Amino acid sequence: MQEKLFGVGNLENLKNQKMNKTDRIYISGHNGMVGSAIIRELKSEGYENLITKNSNELDLRNQNAVHDFFEKEKPDFVFLVAAKVGGILANNTFRADFLYDNLMIEANIIHASYLFKVKKLLFLGSSCVYPKLAKQPMSEDELLSGFLEPTNEPYAIAKIAGIKLCETFHDQYGCNFISAMPTNLYGPNDNYDLKNSHIIPALLRKFYEAKQHNLSEVEVWGDGSPLREFLHVNDCASACIFLMNNYTYKQFVNVGSGEEKSIKEVAETIKQKIGFQGRIDYNTTYPNGTPRKLMDVSRINKLGWEYQISFEEGINQMIAILEEEVQKFQ
């Protein structure tokens, strides 16, 4: 009974709270692409009391370990961005791992945040929570309106569970737990392992290495027709911090650019910018995935946030650091 009263009694006090520069802020998954971007952005804004733990120091799938960590560190704010992630092939191959690991990570952190009176938590979801044939552009209301894309269904189900955990802890206990659903992300510290990377780092590496080795063609999975929206991870980080400081409702919020490109357009852009002279072979034996994914970002735009880094600028930034990034995976 005492636990239940905690949340309800403090709901009004929590609603308008923003992070102070001295608050203890825990960023889970700080070594990942999004987590490291949030760290960079927080530091640039003057936040210094940041809490991080590597996976070999803290197994987020272990409830007792997470409980002990929160009891000791007592964070005021939590960015829940840790997750097991990968591209179509990885999602479709390691289905049990993607479901189990992500369920455990988010459940343990959300429950511990409730038990140890975290002021506010932001859960980072994914646009894959939307149905395969969702109405486009996808507004937040499209959640659970149809069947999911089969190739990444386990990951999507885990992310939906994270959204619902935040919503139900908000409803039952008055916890100030919010959720953000980013579109397809790219940027520094991305995964360039071709077995489980996303489309942009995969294409960057393929064209980079093809040029290095004077290959005649580069293989692209699928027929190039799917439409995708992309957002630089630095913009995602700024959106997460913006929402942490300005949003208090249980309704999750889309985070994206609101602009889309076909996979073929992306491949041609990267080919041209890297200077690869060969041809592109679209391998249609691989699945395309969802035919179109474009976020309706009117909600976050009305709140006062918009993306800043254009696709062209973002790809140029990636190419500038490409050799260093790819070497981590060779």
Q: Do 82 and 66 form a contact (C-beta atoms < 8 A)? A: no
Distance CA(327)–CA(219), nearest Å, equals: 21
Adjacent-strand bridge partners of 41? none
Distance CA(130)–CA(122), nearest Å, equals: 19
Sign of CA dihedral 74, 80, 81, 87: positive
Alpha carbon 76 to chain centroid, angstroms: 22
For Cα atoms 143, 92, 153, give the angle at the middle one, nearest 5 degrees.
Answer: 15
Catalytic residue among 26, 47, 114, 155: 155
The amino acid occupying position 290 is: T
Distance CA(180)–CA(253), nearest Å, equals: 5
Catalytic residue list contains 155:
yes
Cα distance from N-terminal residue to C-terminal residue, the chain: 54
**Which residues are catalytic, by number?**
155
